[in-house]
Structure 1
Amino acid sequence: MSYYVKKVKELTPKEIVGKITRKIKQKVLKRTEALKDSGASTYSQTLNTYEIERILSDSIVHDFSKMEILQTKELSTLYLNHSFDLLGSGWINIKYNMICNGIEEFKYKAPIVDVSEDISCLINKKNKLYSKKIRNMITSNYSPIDWRLDFKSGYCWDSKLHYSQIRYGQDLGADIKVPWELSRMQHLVQYVWAYMLANQGKEDFKEPEIYVAEFQDEVLDFISMNPPKFGVNWVCAMDVAIRAANWLLVYDLFRAQGVTFTEEFEKVFSLSIYDHGKFIYNHLERNGEVRNNHYYSNIVGLFFIAAYLPITEETKEWLCFAFQESIQEMHAQFYDEGANFEHSTAYHRLSGELALYVTALGYALPEHKKNILKNYNVEQHNIICKKKGFNLNASCFWKITDRKIFPDWYIDRLEKIAEFTVAITKPNKEIIQFGDNDSGRFFKVQPIYQLLSVKKAKEVYLNLQNYSARDDENYWDENFLDHRYLVAGINAFFERDDFDRYVEVPSIENKIIKGLIKGNFNKKDKNNQQVMINNVLIKSLNKEDEERIQSLRKQSQFVEYVYPSNSNLVENLKVVSYPNFGVYIYSSKNLYLAIKCGPLGSNGKGSHDHNDQLSLELVIDGKEIIKDPGTYLYTAIPEKRNVFRSTNAHFTIQINNKEQNEYYQGLPGLFMLKESTKSECLELSSIRFMGCHNGFGTKVYRVIDIMSDRIVISDYGSNQRIAHFNYYSNGYGRIIKLK
């Protein structure tokens, strides 16, 4: 079976030569690096000082609700047992020699490891000695985690291999995202909340010290079994960056609660953080002017590392470079309107988190590090950028002052990131899913869950068919589509009443950001506070398209869909448009309608786009009528990846199983589209939307009329009715059969 379409992008001879030359150069550099790394230990074992900066000076005070207490108690218990639910796995105890359930028809068996003996046999020769030293620091009753394992399929990567030799995407069912997701260690923050609640004397929590010890043990376990640059968890600098930032935040939160760590642990910890920083800085995920959320994560993670590590000439360079690049990326990756340039509502959340935390940390920096930033100049930055192989946008270089850490346009854009999140949220508090959703996060400070029984969870999710827990046990089901916490965090800066009304409940995220900025941010005058605007350009249909539509109607090349309402849909109807992202939203008390219509994201590359132009999400009278199918998987099963991003999976015009935009070949083709659609909004008013695209070779049109008692959708250019797509995914790895 072929997973890809036949057509390949045509390159000029010069582009082909350049591409081949770059690939050869990269291969040579990686082979040289692998050879060097195999000849000596890759662990750093000396640093000028091991004392990590204290950023959070005060403890976080939060009045936990009853549900939050129950959630924290049960989640922390699961995590203490090393049970994790990641990317559709279900709650599984992760350990060596476990038997995995498999994913669909794919199932692997990892080699047996004798964990009763010394598991340093899994470590390459030159790193064994230091690995053993670290393992001797772990408490005796700790059960090791198998960090190499895709615990869904059972596929296991060799931890002795240099990161440059790790391969993925060739074995069907094997998903490298699974060990990567675990290695981000975003669950560790739950031990802080459990520690706080245990100290308050809440029932059924462990002794507070147990949560601190577990944090230490898991970090030491990871460091000892994942030497720098070896194994699956050093392949992707993005995950390296997210892991380091999570370690640092949790470490600082514990210290803010009065926890002290041993000098021995602090030394190993700070050295590993330094190793993370070195790896990120030397393996930035940017190719010339091509960047994405990976590069943004690299920059933000590096900034966290430099903010916390002691100052050396090296960390000083990291600090300045990462600070300036974070401003560059805010400009490059978010439009003026506030939406993210990758054109995925889920990735907007991830990049929005990066923007939020790097900004808060900028305000939180101690004065001696702010002074370092003040003395950095554009010439120094330009030299580094050239060495890294990309150009500097000098107009975005920012010289900080005592009064301003970030430029005004940057802060305005941060506020608009929150506004966009509010706009794309449906009445049920979940966002619309346009584009990819891999459930990616930077921090998971207090994720939102609903409590189900195992029986109910298995009835809902097809991916849990082989889940073996008892039917009457609790199943904590994470809601990846509720993004209110992001707005809560951003509102720590702006203190807007409309944002508070949107969030509804107290947020730990908000408390952490306030703890970081410490009142250093000069918020806007609340009397002049900007409210969400309807940034709508009223457009009228041109004569040529009007005649074309009438012609198609006469030829019976049209289909209509009518959705009635028992309420008044147009009362207090608001319209918001985000033309750069390509989404147009109508909302009232009884209506929520979002239409996708615009260019491909990632500067036309379509990395996280679907073939969903002119598709929509529709809620009438509180009932979801039409919703996007989501994503399900990436490289594990390419066929399913392409099914979920296909034209036929979406509520949009269809012609004989044709794709709006063709897929490129090979593994990279899973994250690229060749744009043919050239979608365009032709008419926009308070009661009508009209758009078109050219993806089928001739122009097709969609007209949506909003009436008081119904929505009428008229499609022109095809008389084929939209086939019902039977599956839905509300998070990566999850799949639901629709009735």
Structure 2
Amino acid sequence: MNRDLLGKLRRMRGAELKARSQALLTQLCEQVGYQLGIQRNPENDLTPDAADSTFRDPWIAQHEQQAVAERLRAHHPAYVDEIVQAADAICRHEFALFGTVARYGDAVAWQTDPVSGRPWPAEFHTRVCIFDGNSGNGDVKYVWELNRHQFLPVLGKAYRLTGDVKYASAGLRLIDSWIGANPCNIGINWTSALEVAVRSLSWCWACALFEGAPALTAERRRRILGSLSQHARYIERHLSFYFSPYNHLIGEATALFVIGSLLPSLRRAAHWRKRGWAILEAEMPKQYHEDGGTVEQATGYHHFTLGFHLHAMLVKRHLEGDAAGRLWTDLEKAIAFSMHMMRPDGSMPMIGDADEGKAFALAQSDLWDFRVFLGLGAALFRRGDFKKMGGGHLLPDAAWLVGADGWAAHDALQERVPEKTSTALPASGYYIMRTGWDAQAHYLGFDCGELAAGVSAQETPSAAHGHADTLSIEVSAFGEPLLVDPGFWTYNGSMDWHRYFRETEAHNTVVIDGRSQAEFRGRLKWSHAPR
């Protein structure tokens, strides 16, 4: 038996062994069903009145969409122009993916790598290899990014802002095309529960924005609902409890909760709502340190996970009026962590791995500028320091989440600078010193945290998004970054560069005898983590 596998088995407790065994059994049953040609009719998952149901807005009442659109047209005409331009590009089947633009003709090739042009195999999902980097079809991140469908809400916003039905029609045709080209459980777009989750969240929001459009016919409504039921069933069968119990699991639980909350015309909606929320409630304390920082020790993933929690909590607040309790306290701490870590220029130190992932696609001025979260936090928690450090105004894209009333509440807040300039975050291991909170301040950040939760100090390898960067520093002078964390290279590109950016040598810290602080064990994997 493989030595690493044997080491992992020895470390596993009964609950993990049971869960992993059940996951393997689930895959086996799915595969047997596929080979026998057994397919579940998604129509059977719908209630009789599904064709007459409504896609509810996740964040605000349906009628508030128009109030938000009117205020955006009045106060942010440049934003409206940007949304319309982006929507027009999507109508032309042009999609921005990681700094490149993928252009398609009349039909989008959903299972083809947007960069290499090579199709991924249309095989049962367990037979599609996604763990060997670039396996010959291209970097899986590109085809997954396209199929997250986070461009669909842009079309919905354009429809609401202009009243032009062409945007809703284009979005619904894209969903039709995707459903037809991606049978459940077949191909690259059914290989990851997180990817299925992000796509389902995109559909829920977009279809709520498409409500009222003539193109959203009863037949289309039933077809989309049937596919969303397939999405939720897949997610529940493949929850990442031990495979990836951090941002993956939170994204999947969020999708179950949102689908179950917004779509009561699905027969299992109440079950998914309850299951998703139970996971979120049980797992939230495991996702953040006491001071609000992610246990993954990666600032990009901090905001990815935070985005999913915001997503779920805003839905719960909208539908149930619930905005109190331990989870809201933890959410506020996570937003405060983001504020304390922020550099004078408004950007976030690029600590740990990152893949540009977003729980929902909100416009940011820069990839590493997460101040949109501070604006949302100001509106939710009525905090003047969040408003001040978020730029003093609510970014236009965030208005769709808090509505006209939340926007007005944000504007009414009195701005104030945070109480402390120097901040100790001992649980997550970061210590920040600054001369002030202005854009020309000096800034010094110490990274004294662990490599990442779950990484063993022994020889058994574990996947993690943290880097071997203990005691590294970040320095800004007069607001300009001088010594920076290098961030991340790629998941599936050159192994040499992938390794270099994660090991100690690439960071502003001490290297002893030319050795990294932890042992690199392959893509994303570490062993012998420092203690």
TM over 0.5: yes
* 2:433 and 2:443 in contact (8 A); partners too: yes
Instruction: Provide the secondary structure at the position in 1 that maps to 2:500.
Output: helix
Match among 488, 506, 509 for residue 375 of structure 2: 488
Distance, in Å, in 1 between the alignment partners of 2:21 and 2:311 is 37
The answer to whether the Cα contact below 8 Å between 2:102 and 2:115 also exists between their aligned partners in 1 is: no
- Please state whether the residue corresponding to 2:175 is helix, strand or coil: helix
In the comparison of the two structures, how many residue pairs are matched?
498
Distance in 2 (CA, whole Å) between partners of 1:94 and 1:648 is 42
Q: CA deviation at 1:626?
A: 0.9
Q: Is the 8 A contact 1:299 1:326 kept in 2?
A: yes
Alpha-carbon spacing, 1:241–1:20, altered in 2? closer, same or farther (3 Å): closer
- Can you give the 5+ residue segments of structure 2 that lack an aligned partner in the other structure? 456-461
Residues 323 and 515 (structure 1), Cα distance of their counterparts in 2 relative to 1, 3 Å cut: farther
Q: 1:169 to 1:94 in 2, by over 3 A?
A: farther
What are the residue-to-residue correspondences of 1:114-153 with 2, within 5 Å?
143-153=106-116
2: distance between equivalents of 1:169 and 1:283?
Answer: 16
Structure-2 residue corresponding to 1:513: 401
Matching residue of 2:328: 411
Verify the 8 A CA contact 1:292 1:602 in the aligned structure 2: no
**Residue type at the aligned position of 1:344:** A
Inter-partner Cα distance in structure 1 for 2:18 and 2:257:
32
Q: Classify the secondary structure of the residue corresponding to 1:617.
A: strand
Cα shift readout 1:228-258 (whole Å, capped 9, x = no counterpart)? 1111001111111111111111111232x77
Could you tell me how far 1:483 is from its partner in structure 2? Answer: 0.5
Counterpart residue number, 1:448: 364
Please list, as runs of the form range in 1=range in 2, the aligned pairs for 1:686-697 lying within 5 A after superposition.
none
Of 404, 415, 425, 2:342 maps to 425
* 1:352 is aligned to 2:341: no
Deviation (angstroms), 1:506: 3.0
Q: What are the residue-to-residue correspondences of 1:97-108 with 2, within 5 Å?
A: none
TM-score (norm 2): 0.85
Aligned to 1:225: 181
- The one of 468, 479, 484 aligned to 1:622: 479
Pair member with larger Rg:
1
Would you say 1:209 and 2:168 are equivalent positions? no
Counterpart code for 1:634? Y
> In 2 relative to 1, CA 43–596 (structure 1 residues): closer, same or farther, beyond 3 Å?
farther
Q: 1:672 aligns with which of 522, 525, 528?
A: 525
Q: Deviations over 1:593-632 (max 9, x none)?
A: 1121111223445610111111122110122211111112
**32, 37, 42: which is aligned to 1:35?**
32
Q: Does 1:327 align with 2:281?
A: yes
Q: Of 149, 153, 164, which aligns to 2:126?
A: 164
Give distance in 1, aligned partners of 2:355 and 2:8: 34
TM-score by length of 1: 0.62
AA aligned opposite 2:167:
Y
State the one-letter code of the partner of 2:143.
P
Percent of paired sites with the same residue:
23
Q: Offset at 1:67?
A: 3.7
CA deviations over 1:279-312 (Å, ceiling 9, x no partner)? 1111111129x71110000000111110122256
**Pair 1:253 & 2:169 matched:** no
Cα deviations across residues 453-481 of structure 1 (Å, max 9, x unaligned)?
xxxxxxxxxxxxxxxxxxxxxxxxxx210
Residue 11 of structure 1 aligns to which amino acid in structure 2? G
Cα distance per residue 1:333-363 (max 9 Å; x no partner): 1222111111111111111111111111012
Q: For residue 459 of structure 2, what is the aligned residue in structure 1?
A: none
Q: 1:248 to 1:601 in 2, by over 3 A?
A: same
- Measure the CA separation in 2 of the matches of 1:427 and 1:17: 45
* Shift of residue 513, structure 1, vs aligned partner: 2.9
Q: C-alpha distance in 1, partners of 2:472/2:41?
A: 51
> Pick from 446, 452, 455: which aligns with 1:595?
446
Counterpart Cα distance in 1 of 2:117 and 2:131: 15
Give me the whole-angstrom Cα distance separating, in 1, the residues matched to 2:424 and 2:379: 26
Q: Helix, strand or coil for the counterpart of 1:85?
A: strand
Q: Where in structure 2 are the equivalents of 1:270-419 lying within 5 Å?
A: 270-287=225-242, 291-310=245-264, 314-365=268-319, 405=322, 407-419=324-336
The equivalent position to 2:72 in structure 1, one of 63, 67, 72, is 63
**Whole-angstrom distance in 1 between the partners of 2:418 and 2:109:** 47
Provide the secondary structure at the position in 2 that maps to 1:436: coil
Is the partner of 1:91 in helix, strand or coil?
strand
* Corresponding residue number in structure 1 for 2:146: 182
Counterpart of 1:91 (choices 101, 108, 126) is: 101
2:56 paired residue number: 54
SS at match of 2:444: strand
TM superposition shift of 1:260: 6.8
Relative to 1, partners in 2 of residues 1:25 and 1:499: Cα closer, same or farther, differing over 3 Å?
Answer: closer
2:519 maps to which residue?
A: 662
Query: Alignment partner of 1:251: what SS?
Result: helix
> Structure 1's 43 and 158: CA in aligned 2 closer, same or farther, altered over 3 A?
farther
**Counterpart of 2:42 in 1: which secondary structure?**
coil
- The structure with the largest helix share of the pair is 2
Asked if structure 1 preserves the Cα contact closer than 8 Å seen for 2:451 and 2:469, the reply is no
Partner SS for 1:63: helix
* 3-state SS in 1 of match to 2:476: strand
Q: Secondary structure at the match of 1:294?
A: helix
Q: CA RMSD in A?
A: 3.1
2:348 aligned counterpart, secondary structure: coil
Alignment-mate amino acid for residue 431 of structure 1: M
- Secondary structure, in 3 states, of the residue corresponding to 2:269? helix
Unaligned 5+ segments in structure 1 are 1-6, 96-142, 200-207, 371-403, 450-478, 535-573, 679-739
Distance of 2:483 and 2:8 partners within structure 1 = 43
Contact 1:448/1:482, CA 8 A, preserved across alignment: yes
